[in-house]
Amino acid sequence: MRTVVSRLIHTRSSLPRLFVSDAPRNGRCLTTDSDKVDEPFKVEEAETVNTPPPPTEKLLVLGGNGFVGSHVCREALERGLSVASLSRSGRSKLHDSWADSMTWHQGNLLSPESWKDALDGVTSVISCVGGFGSNSYMYKINGTANINAIRAAAEQGVKRFVYISAADFGVANYLLRGYYEGKRAAETELLTKFPYGGVILRPGFIYGTRSVGSVKLPLGVIGYPLEMLFQYTRPLSQLPLVGPLFTPPVNVTSVANVAVRAATDPVFPPGIVDVQGIQRYTQKK
């Protein structure tokens, strides 16, 4: 009998003590082994595992050789992205150094076969395509061309699509009916094809230094003072009919910054971003 009791006591004492305690004191950690209660906690270096690098983000800018498009391309390159541009004229006429780091495609969005290869490997698209003219021409350039691009990008499996549209200007919408009807048709298509990765920017007048041939137009001389002024007239933008005329101008660098963020940041919310939204996102670092 004494032998049995002795064995039970020996077996019980050899079991580790499992208990819950408060945080360790004096830098000591408690373990389940009663003989190692007072030993300091030791961290062993984890073994590294060879994993493939994340896929490279490749951005395609539609209209990358234009005023807004060129700023978008430069912004994306500064963020370390692989950037390509597609336009009817192909390579930009700008002689800036960043243009040599781009891939330039020539094609017409109204002729899908002329630019399908430009979407190979693309993860996100920013469209800066737009134009003025007759109502039928404006609808074709602002609407049909962008709708073709949106559909092709969706079929190719592109993750995110950003469309630089335009703010409403009330009475001006009727004077440029084809322009705005085309823009809104493209917006509807984008929200349908990219419900979780489609972003629409609606800036007003976009200012900055614009190159026309060898001449540089400093639009900021007009745009910046107006932007500052309209910050104090925001209540007037709520007036019927004429209110939209008080929509503040926005710097082209701000538009480019937000466009690239929207195209590459997976947590950037989908939907429409107005002028005030563009200004807010620009202030966030």
Tell the burial category of 216 from Cβ atoms under 10 Å away from its Cβ (0-12, 13-18, 19+). exposed
Q: What is the pLDDT of residues 40-84, one digit of tens each?
A: 444 343 443 444 434 578 999 999 999 999 999 999 999 999 999
Q: Give me the chain's average pLDDT, please.
A: 78
Find the angle CA(270)-CA(119)-CA(144) to the nearest 5 degrees: 65
Q: Which pLDDT does position 272 carry in this prediction? A: 97
- Please report whether residue 10 resides in a domain: no
pLDDT confidence of 234, banded at 50, 70, 90?
A: low
Q: Which pLDDT does position 82 carry in this prediction? A: 95
- Please report whether residue 104 resides in a domain: yes
Length of the chain counted residue by residue: 285
- Please report whether residue 70 resides in a domain: yes
Q: What is the pLDDT of residues 113-151, one digit of tens each?
A: 889 899 999 999 999 999 999 999 999 999 999 999 999
- Please report whether residue 47 resides in a domain: no
Q: What is the pLDDT of residues 236-265, one digit of tens each?
A: 555 555 445 557 788 999 999 999 999 999
Q: Nearest to residue 82, comparing CAs of 53, 59, 106?
A: 59
Choice among 56-60, 92-96, 163-167, 223-227 with the minimum mean pLDDT: 223-227
> Over 70: is that where the pLDDT of 174 sits?
yes
Residue 86's domain comprises 58-283
- Please report whether residue 23 resides in a domain: no
DSSP per residue over 102-118, as a string? Answer: SEEEE--TTSGGGTGGG
> Over 80: is that where the pLDDT of 26 sits?
no
Q: What is the pLDDT of residues 130-140, one digit of tens each?
A: 999 999 999 99
Tell me how many domains the chain contains. 1
- Please report whether residue 137 resides in a domain: yes
Report how far residue 66's alpha carbon sits from residue 70's, in angstroms, rounded to the nearest whole number: 6
Q: Which pLDDT does position 258 carry in this prediction? A: 97
Do 73 and 62 meet the contact criterion of CB atoms below 8 Å apart?
Answer: no
SS3 category, 262:
helix
Between 49 and 276, the more confident residue is 276
CATH number at residue 65: 3.40.50.720
- Please report whether residue 48 resides in a domain: no
- Please report whether residue 109 resides in a domain: yes
Report how far residue 128's alpha carbon sits from residue 70's, in angstroms, rounded to the nearest whole number: 9
Choice among 154-158, 243-247, 258-262, 272-276 with the minimum mean pLDDT: 243-247
DSSP per residue over 213-258, as a string? Answer: TTEEEETHHHHHHHHHHHTS-GGGGGSTTTGGGGPPPEEHHHHHHH
The fraction of the chain above a pLDDT of 70, given in percent, is 66
> Over 80: is that where the pLDDT of 38 sits?
no
The fraction of the chain above a pLDDT of 90, given in percent, is 49
